[in-house]
Chain A
Amino acid sequence: MKASNSLWKERLDGQLSAQMADELDTFEMEIDLRRQGKVDEKVFAETRLRRGAYGQRYDNGQRYDGVETRQLAFRDDAETKGPNTAWDAPGMQRIKIPFGGMTPDQLEVMAELAEEYSDGIAHITTRQDFQLHFVHIEDATALMRRLAAVGITTREACGNSVRNVTGCPFAGVCADEAFDVSPYADALTQFLLGHPDAQNFGRKFKPSFSGCHQHSCGLAAMHDMGMTAVTREVDGETKRGFRVVVGGGLGTVPYQAKVFDEFMAPEELLPIAQAMSKVFAKHGEKKVRSRARIKFLVANWGIEKFRETVLEERAKLEHDPRWTELIEGAEGEQETPLNPPGDLPESNGDVEFGHWLKTNIRTQRQDGYFTATVALPLGDMTADQLRSLADIARKFTNGTIRTTVEQNFVIRWVSGADVSALYQELAAAGLGEAGAGAILDIVSCPGTDTCKLGISSSRGLAAELRKRLSEKIFELDEAIQSLHIKISGCFNSCGQHHVADIGFYGVARGVHGYKVPHFQVVLGGQWEENAGSYGLPIVAIPSKRIPDAVERITGYYLKSREKGEQFVHFVNRVGKTKIRQELDHLTQNLPEHDADPDFYADWADPREYTTGDIGKGECAGEVISAYEFAMSDAERMVFNAQVLLEEGGSQKAGEEAYSAMIKSAKALVQIDYDDVSNDPDEVVEEFEERFCDTGVFYDPFAGPKFANYLLAAHKSAATPFTAESAHYRIEEAQLFIEAVHSCYTKEKTTAG
C-alpha cells in the first residue's frame, strides 16, 4: 500500500469530472466501511468488481510450494474483501479502454501506474483492456483518480455489468469497412455506463463493433451484442446501419450469436441496447450463474421470442435525447494525420525491417497512410515502453493509437514517408518485433500465472512456443506463418481458444499416480469472418509435449493441404480422426515420474504439479482400473460424436455425447456402488444422490455448473438434436468428463 494515497485526491482536484470525483469518493468510503465490517463481504466483492478490482491467484491465502500447501500469512488474514478472499492479498486491476482508443497522455499515466502500484508490467487483454497485477485494494482509489484525471474509468470493468465496448482497431482507416464504427462504440460506451437499466444483470454483458464482416478485428459473432457496419442504397442514397447479432459468447460452451436485425438504423442502436439490457435484467437467469449469460436466454427463448420481447420493451421506453445526441457528428472524419502522405519505403536489404513491413504494416484507405502494429509478447509491455510509445505516437501522428483484441497496439495515420523512422524508434524501444497477426503472435490468457481459475500455464506454454517459433518464423511456409494460436489456462476461454486455427485449453490428468498438466487441442475454429466458427477439442496432450503437437499439426497441414487451402477448411476436409491419429503417439509412453520429473511440472514453474502424494491402494486399484477404462470409453465417445457431427449426423452425435456423459457419471458412481446398472435414469439418480446432494462433485469456483450439464442433458434426452445443439452437447460432455476427472482426483487425494 502506498504512503502517498491520501495525497492524490488533493493533487488532482479539479482535474476529474465531478461525477468521477464523486464516484471515487464513494468507493473510498465503501472500502473504509468494509474495513470496519459495516459492509457485507459479498456486497463489497461485487462493489469492487464493478470498479475493476479483481481477485488474483492465492488470494484465499493458500499456495502450494511444490512440496505442500502452505498458508500465506497475510497481516490481516481475518479481514476479507470478498468470500474467501484475504484483504491484504494482492489483486488485479482491470482498466477499460473503450474500442481500444488511447492518447499519449493516457499511455504515460498507465506507465506510472504500472511502476508504482503493480509489478512494472502493463498487460493488454483480449478485450482491449489493460490489466495491472499485484495491486493492493487500498491503492485502488488513488490509482483510479489518476486514471480519471486523463479520462479513463474502471467503472464496470468487471462484475455483472456492461463490460468494455470493444471495436475494430482499424475502424476509420480500413479499406474494407463499410464505415467508421468508432463514434458509435464511443456512444454506446457513454450511454450504457452506469445506466440504471444495465445494473441488475445476472452476469456480464459484452458488446463489440466491427467495420466489416470478413475480418476478425471486432469479433462480433462471439459477443453478447455484436454490431457490424453495413450500408444500403435507399432512394439513391447510401444509408448507414448495423447488422446486430445477440447471444454469442465463448466461455465454457461457445455460442454463435443470432441475428437480431440485418439492418438497424444508427439512431435505433442505443434505444435497442437499452431495451435489450432491460430484457436481460428482467428475464436473464440470476441464481444459476453458469446459465446467466444472455446467450442462454436467447437459446432458451429462441431469437424470435427474444427479438419480439426486446421490441416490445423498446416501444415502451421513454424518449431519451441522448439516443441521437451521442451519435451526432458520427459521419464526419474522426481523426486527422499529423504529416503529409508519402510512399512506403523499400526494405533495401534490411531483412528484419523487411519482415516487419510485411507483417506489421497495413495500408489505410487514405492514400499515403499506413497503420503500424506493435506486436507485444503475450500482451505485456514495460513502463518505459509505454512512454516510448507515447513519444512515437506524438512524433509521427496526432496521437492516434489503439489496443487490439490480439493484445497489441496499432498506430494509425503513419505517413509512408515516416515508416522507416517509426520502425527505427520502435525497434530502439524493444517494440519493433515482426510477426504481428502471425503464428508467433500467440494470444494467451493469464492462466496459472495470476488467475484463480487457471489449470495449466497458458503463458508459460505461449512463451515457450514463441521462443521456438521465433527462431524460424520466416523460414516457415507462408501457410504456417499465417496461422493463429490461442491458449487458455482452463475451459473458460479467456484466451479465445475456440476461434484459433490451433487452440489449446488447460486440463489436468493423472499419469502414473501423479497429476500432469495437459492441454486440450482445439481444432476447427475460425478467426476470420469475425470468429466465424468454433473449434472443438480433439485430444488432451501433456503440456510438455504441446510444442511437438504444434510441429505435427503444422507439418501434416503442409504435407496434406490442397493448393491454397486454409487451415480451417483443411481440418474440415481431412477430418479430426486423421489429425488425431497424427497426435496419438504424444499421449502414449509417458515417462515415469522418477525418470523425468520435469514432465510432471508446468512450463516455467519447477513446482511439482500434483497437489499431493496420490498413492496407490491395492483395494482401490481394481476400482481405478474400472474407472479409467470407463473414462477412456467416455472420451472416445465424445470424440466419435465430433466425427459424427462432421459427417452431418447431428442426432447421432448428440446422442453419443449424451451417452459419454452417462458413461463417465457411471464411472464415478461405480467407485462407491459397483452394482449400478447402465440405465441412464439410475445412473443419474445415483449420481445426484452421491455427488450433487453432497456437493462432492461441485467445483470450488464453478459450483454445480458441470453437474447441471448432465442433469439438463438427461432431462432433455428425448429432444431431437440440431447441428447447433449437438455441438453444445459435445462441448458440455467434454467439460463434464473433465469435471469427473477432477472430482475423482480430488476424492482419491482426500482418501490418501
Chain B
Amino acid sequence: MELQHVNVKILVDGDITVDPGRFIDVFHRWIREGVIEGLLIDVADYRHVPHGPGVMLIGFDFDYSMDNAGGNWGMLYNHKSPLDGNNDDRLSTALKSAAQACKLLETEFADDGLKFSRQGFELIINDRALAPNTDETWDACQPILQSFLKSALGHEEFELQRESEPRRRFGVTVETKQPLDFDALA
C-alpha cells in the first residue's frame, strides 16, 4: 500500500495562549524570510469559521496551519504533492515537518507560553483513493505505521486509535507513553 499526502497534527498543550491572529503575522514573515524551506505562496485566514482551519500558510508542496478542527488548536502539516521514496520516507517527512514547525512556533511565542503536546499526534492519509477509511486499509497500514513509529520515536510505547467515522479520511491518533522529542524528530 502506497501512503501519500500524509498529514500530521500536533495539538497545542492545554489552552491556546496566543491570539490566533498573531499567526498571520508570523506566517507572512516566514514567507518573507524563507524560514521554511520550499515554495510558500500565501497566508489564508479562516478564523471566522467555527472549528475550521484557523490560519494557514499555503505552500506549493505543503500547507502548514494553526488548525482548529474539532475545536482543538494544533499545528497541522499537510503534504500535498506526491513524494518519491517509500512509505517511511513520506511519513517521516510529515512528522519531521510538523515537529519543526512546532519548535519554531514555541520559540516565536516563548513569552506567551505556547506549548505543543508531547503526548501524541494525529496522522491522516489525505487521499481516499489510495487509503479509503476501511478495515482493509487499517489492516494493511497497521504494520507500516507500527514499524515507522517504532523507528521514528525510538520506542514501542505508543498506541494507535483509528478514525472510526468511515466518511472521514483514514487516520490514526498516536498516543505515546514517552514524550515526543521535537529536537530528535525535526
Contact = CB atoms under 8 A, between A and B. Distances in A.
Interface of A: 1-4, 7-8, 11, 57-58, 63, 65-67, 72-75, 88, 90, 108, 111-112, 115-116, 119-121, 133-134, 136, 377-378, 380-382, 384-385, 387, 430-431, 433, 449, 459-460, 463, 466-467, 604-607
B4, B46, B82 pick with most chain A CB within 10 angstroms:
B46
Nearest to A134: B58
A58 B59 CA distance: 12
A57 B24 contact: no
Contacts of A73: 39
Interface string B27-64: 01001100000010111111111111100101010010
Contact of A57 (B42, B48, B126, B129): B42
A708 to B, nearest CB: 33
Given A4-B4, A119-B56, A606-B28, A384 B51 contact: yes
Contacts of B63: 119, 134
Please list the 8 inter-chain residue pairs (A to B) with the smallest Cβ-Cβ separation, ordered nearest first: A430-B50, A4-B129, A3-B82, A3-B4, A377-B48, A65-B32, A7-B129, A606-B25
B60 A466 contact: no
Given A4-B4, A66-B32, A604-B21, A121 B129 contact: no
Contacts of A467: 48
Nearest to A64: B32
B164 to A, nearest CB: 14
B115 interface: no
A381 B127 contact: no
Given A377-B48, A382-B49, A384-B168, 11 more contacts: A4-B4, A7-B129, A7-B130, A116-B128, A120-B53, A382-B53, A385-B50, A430-B50, A430-B51, A606-B24, A606-B25
Given A7-B129, A115-B126, A58 B41 contact: yes
Nearest to B63: A119
A7 B131 CA distance: 12
A377 B49 contact: yes
Contacts of A3: 2, 4-5, 82, 127, 130
A72 B43 CA distance: 14
Interface string B56-79: 101010010000011000000000
B28 A65 contact: yes
Interface size class of B (residues with CB under 8 A): 35 or more
Q: Counting chain A CB atoms within 10 Å of each CB, which of B5, B51, B126, B167 scores highest? A: B167
B42 to A, nearest CB: 6
Contact of A8 (B45, B53, B129): B129
Interface of B: 2, 4-5, 21, 24-25, 28, 31-32, 39, 41-53, 56, 58, 60, 63, 69-70, 80-82, 126-130, 167-169
Given A2-B82, A72-B39, A604 B32 contact: no
Of listed A3, A111, A385, A387, residue having the most chain B CB within 10 A: A3
Contact of B32 (A67, A74, A120): A67
B129 A72 contact: no
A115 B41 CA distance: 19
Nearest to B32: A65
A2 B5 contact: yes
A75 B52 CA distance: 30
A536 B130 CA distance: 53
20 contacts: A2-B82, A3-B5, A57-B42, A63-B41, A66-B28, A72-B39, A74-B60, A90-B41, A115-B169, A119-B46, A119-B56, A120-B52, A134-B63, A382-B49, A382-B52, A384-B51, A430-B51, A431-B50, A463-B47, A604-B24
B72 to A, nearest CB: 12
Contacts of A607: 28
Nearest to B130: A4
Contact of A119 (B28, B44, B50): B44
Contacts of B127: 2-4, 116
Contacts of A136: 80
B8 to A, nearest CB: 15
Nearest to B55: A604
Contact of A380 (B4, B46, B69, B80): B46
Contacts of B43: 605
A204 B48 CA distance: 32
Nearest to B83: A3
B129 A11 contact: yes
Given A116-B126, A116-B128, A88 B45 contact: no
A684 B179 CA distance: 74
B62 to A, nearest CB: 12
A179 B137 CA distance: 50
A406 B9 CA distance: 33
A387 B163 CA distance: 15
B89 to A, nearest CB: 14
Given A8-B129, A380-B52, A606-B25, A449 B81 contact: no
Given A88-B60, A119-B58, A380 B48 contact: yes
Contacts of B168: 384, 387
Given A90-B41, A119-B63, A382-B53, A463 B48 contact: yes
A560 B112 CA distance: 47
Given A90-B41, A120-B53, A606-B24, A384 B126 contact: no
A338 B25 CA distance: 49
Contacts of B45: 449, 459-460, 463, 604
A11 B69 CA distance: 30
Nearest to A112: B128
A381 B49 CA distance: 7
Contacts of A65: 28, 31-32
B115 to A, nearest CB: 24
A16 to B, nearest CB: 16
Contacts of A111: 167
A121 B53 contact: yes
B184 to A, nearest CB: 29
A605 B28 contact: yes
Contacts of A121: 46, 49, 52-53
Contact of B48 (A58, A74, A466): A466
B166 to A, nearest CB: 11
* Most chain B beta carbons < 10 A, residue from A90, A467, A605, A606: A606
B128 A380 contact: no
Contacts of A66: 28, 32
Contacts of A133: 44
A463 B47 CA distance: 9
B169 to A, nearest CB: 6
A566 B69 CA distance: 41
A729 to B, nearest CB: 38
B24 A605 contact: yes
Contacts of A75: 60
A429 to B, nearest CB: 8
